[in-house]
Amino acid sequence: MARAYPAQKNISEISQEENISAKYLETLIGMLRKDNLVKSQKGKSGGYTLIKNPKLISAGEIIEIMEGPIISKCDGSHCQKAKVCASSLVWNKLAYQIKKTLFAIKLSELI
């Protein structure tokens, strides 16, 4: 879809181009639609398109839609020892840098 932006593509076109099963692709696109990253048009010439320019969509945004927030498990809500754990500082800084990097990479750079 990003390569075709602003034109639309149907499921079978995307499936063939990306070598992803149509059924799995429908699940992924459904998640992106729910979070208003993709819109659909029904009908014979229908299909899917990105709602915004790929230059404005980050890899981090897509990953968080698909997988949930990019966070360290050492924030105290997942581990009772986070406040006394020597390695929690490392994991929290690493999570911050990963998130910062992923949000700096734009979809347009990946196509």
Q: What is the DSSP string of the chain?
A: -TTTTTS-B-HHHHHHHHT--HHHHHHHHHHHHHTTSEEEE-STT-EEEESS-GGG-BHHHHHHHHH-----TTSSSS-TTTTT-TTHHHHHHHHHHHHHHHHHSBGGGG-
Give the closest residue to 54 by CA, choosing from 104, 11, 5: 5
Residues whose CB falls within 8 Å of the CB of residue 34, separated by 6 or more in sequence, listed in order = none
Banded model confidence at residue 76, pLDDT cuts 50, 70, 90: low
Please report the pLDDT score of residue 37 as a whole number.
97
**What's the rounded mean pLDDT across residues 43-62?**
94
Please report the pLDDT score of residue 71 as a whole number.
84
**What's the rounded mean pLDDT across residues 75-101?**
84
Please report the pLDDT score of residue 77 as a whole number.
73
Whether the Cβ atoms of residue 31 and residue 74 lie closer than 8 Å to each other:
no
pTM over 0.75: yes
The residue whose two tokens read 């398109």 is 49
Give 92 or 39, the one with higher predicted confidence: 39
For residue 54, say if its preceding peptide bond is cis, omega within 30 degrees of 0: no
